[in-house]
Chains A and B, each alone.
Chain A
Amino acid sequence: MTDMQSPDPRPQTPDPKLDASCGLPLLALSGGAALWLVVGSALAMIASIKFHAPDFLADCPWLTYGRVQPAADDALLYGFCIPTALGVMLWIFARLSRTPLSMPLVAVAAANVWHLGVLIGLAGILIGDSTGFAWLEFPRGGSVLLLAAFLLIAICATATFGQRKERELYPSHWFLLAALLWFPWIYATGNLFLVAWPVRGVVQAAIDYWFANNLLFVWLGLAGVGTAFYFLPKLVRRPLQSRYLALFAFWTLILFGTWCGIPQGAPLPVWMPTLSAGAAALLLLPLLAVGMVAWRTVWGSVKSKWDNRPFCFIGAGMDCFVLSTLMLIAMACPQIGRVTEFTWFGPAQTQLQLYGFFAMTMFGAIYYILPRVVGFDWPFPKLVRVHFWISLLGILLLIVPLAIGGVIQGLKWTNPGVAVVDVAKATLPFLRVSTTGLLWILLGNLLFALNIFALTLVWKLALLRKAVAIVKTPLTTAEAKA
């Protein structure tokens, strides 16, 4: 139980070799991810503008709403969230193991394969090659590359884990190892049963619901909470409160979370949505446990924590996790679900989970890790603070109108006297406010990308300078003879 006492999880003065071993893989993973993040929010803007003017870019088949919208979501999830989380995991595993990263070049190769897969997948959606299944839209070429890259990174992480100097596991280990096992299982299931050898009829929808919930709620939950449980104690310099509560959160999250996701009205045997609704109600347990661990760890710590930029991001991320899980539980409750099903409330919850919770947590982690692994501070440190407030504003302006608009839309759908066109019109003001939210998010993402690209440039220039210096140094006589 050493980590219960140690305020800072594991090494106090980390081995510089350890951090340096993560440099190239992390730059490869998060550099590409920053690019997809900007691409994704630009696509989301295009999709949103179509609610202001349906004619906008209407003559361009690959920018039609039904292609741009899933492409934007997938760019955020597969382009940014997952690869960034993989990079953060590799670094956390190296730190917790107190050893340099195993096989860093494999991780670099995997990062490139992953981003190539995302490129093929997004291009596939835009040219009309989407599989048509929510969150599994990437055509075969893209998804095979994603799975291969994930497995390679999982091998690096497991090898690093195997070399750990301290046998005892830290709570983050549970969540992150589970995430490494979770993704290949659900992603392979989804692609095999829906794309490679498709099952018949409505079972496709059942498997897609199962996959989407296991990816968007459970996987993101495991990776995000695991990361937060590593960083929160570290940033406030207090131990995690407590290990047992974290264990409870872990078990309830994986046991109950994985059964959610089948909506009430789905044309499936009744036992499936009923089971899902029950599991969703039980989600209150992991939600309370995660909230208590985070709250008790942070509460009453150093007063200046709001000057601590990574802490702001991760703290906001945890708040959004609580909110988005509450929204998920509400939607699964039959009385509320009847109104919110098929409305903008659903996308509001998804965006809160993806951007508010997960991306914010990852921003915090990346802002903490990258300067340490490349050995330079952020080129524009002030922009980090600006990025935080801009994204917070963006999330607020995106989620709140969508959620309220969704409830109003749902109430109008349940009243058969309101014409279809009038229901759509009632949501328009809310959709239009959410466009401004997307604009702020796009701006924040640009600042993030700017910092990452500038940092990469600084790092490359330093490498170049070093190489030039080595070439320029006159050879010693011994070397000249050899």
Chain B
Amino acid sequence: MRNGASIFLAVFIALGLSWCGFVLAPTRQLGGAKQATILNSSDRYPLGRPGEANLGLQVYRANGCAACHTEQVRQSGVTCDVVLANAGKNPGVVSNLVSTSKLKELTKEEADGVSQKIAVAGGKTEIHIVATGPDIARGWGMRQSVAEDYLYDYPVQLGNLRAGPDLANTGVREPDLNWQLVHLYLPASEVNGSMMPPFRYLFEVRKIGAAPSPDALVFPKGFGPPAGYAVVPKPEARALAAYLLSLRVNVPLYSAPFTQ
């Protein structure tokens, strides 16, 4: 290393290689990705979020929700469950087989073997694919998150810290708009012991006039504004809630299969 040019060359080689690997290659591999087909169906996925939910993603970004919440479900593997569909002509033999064999948490080969045995006895079975892992067991999703799930989002908010729960499927877990809004306004009212800061600035506390607002939040008992007042979401809060409700990763794909 005798002159500046050799340093330039060293940097060019080292950084250039990783630039090609981690910037150019994924752009080529995924940058032109199109919708995927849902397994065992002709429907396409994802469909893009509704307009209000897209605005809500910008509220999510602006308030840095990703500082505490991830939007990615991890999976350790898959297991197969054998489910009897039809006992066939020899129900006694088949039910005997079913009660003596292990039918859950099998590998693909084991499941095929059991399935084969039952088929020989005349029964019909289905093999269900089940994703496994702590995130799945928590009910955070039915399968791991894959590239397709984020196709139309900008910016993609994967997050890198779970100070709170994962939100990839919050629209499936908590599909009630009022629940989402009340939780944003006063998290502790919906989740006992929650450490989430309240986002009161996304709401307005109004005096109930002659015609009460149809958007006013309905609080659980013991919470809520004083009598004569109502909490009404501002447009930002409505958009954010619409975005949270649109977080639904619940279809099987070729890259992430499961049986619904």
Taken together as a complex, chains A and B put the C-alpha atoms of A344 and B134 apart, in Å, by 18
Are the C-beta atoms of B7 and A173 separated by less than 8 Å? yes
In the bound complex, do residue B158 and residue A205 qualify as a contact, i.e. CB atoms below 8 Å apart?
yes
Q: B161 — which chain A residues lie within 8 A by C-beta? A: 342-344, 346-347
A138 on interface, CB distance cutoff 8 Å? no
Q: Which of A54, A167, A205, A266 has the most CB of B within 10 A?
A: A205
Residues of chain A lying within 8 A (CB to CB) of residue B18:
210, 214, 258-259
- In the complex, the chain A residue whose C-beta lies closest to that of B59 is A128
Task: Determine whether the beta carbon of B164 is less than 8 Å from that of A50.
Answer: no
Partner of A254, one of B11, B145, B201: B11
> Least Cβ distance of A63 to chain B in Å?
10
| Alpha-carbon distance between A55 and B197 when the two chains are bound, in angstroms | 6
With A193-B23, A247-B1, A343-B162 known as contacts, the answer to whether A65 contacts B68 (CB < 8 A) is yes
The reply to whether the CB of B85 lies closer than 8 angstroms to some CB of chain A is no
- The reply on A4 being an interface residue by CB < 8 A is no
Which of A200, A254, A275, A342 lies in contact with B70, CB distance below 8 A?
Answer: A342
| Residue A445 lies at the interface, judged by CB distance under 8 Å to chain B | no
- Smallest CB separation, A177 vs chain B (Å): 4
Measured between C-beta atoms, what is the minimum distance from B247 to chain A in Å? 14
Task: State whether the Cβ of B115 lies closer than 8 Å to any Cβ in chain A.
Answer: no
B156 touches A201 (CB 8 A): yes
Contact A60 B66 (CB under 8 A): no
- A residues in contact (CB < 8 Å) with B: 50-51, 54-56, 58-61, 64-67, 69-70, 128-134, 158, 161-162, 167-169, 173-174, 177-178, 181-182, 185-186, 189, 193-194, 198-207, 209-210, 214, 247, 250-251, 254-255, 258-259, 262-263, 265-269, 272, 275, 338, 341-344, 346-347, 409, 413-416, 420-421, 424-425, 427-428
Q: A132-B157, A268-B30, A268-B147 are in contact. List 9 more A-B contacts (CB 8 A).
A: A54-B194, A54-B196, A132-B61, A200-B30, A201-B156, A254-B14, A259-B18, A341-B74, A421-B191
Q: Can you list 23 pairs linking A and B with CB atoms under 8 Å apart?
A: A54-B187, A55-B197, A65-B64, A67-B62, A130-B61, A132-B66, A169-B1, A169-B7, A174-B1, A174-B7, A178-B10, A201-B148, A201-B152, A206-B30, A209-B22, A247-B1, A254-B10, A258-B15, A266-B72, A269-B147, A347-B161, A413-B134, A424-B194
Nearest first, the 8 A-B pairs at minimum CB distance are: A66-B64, A128-B62, A132-B61, A416-B137, A132-B155, A254-B14, A258-B18, A210-B22
B residues sitting closer than 8 Å to A (CB atoms) are: 1-4, 7-8, 10-11, 14-15, 17-19, 21-23, 26-27, 29-33, 61-68, 70, 72, 74, 134, 137-138, 144-165, 187, 191-201
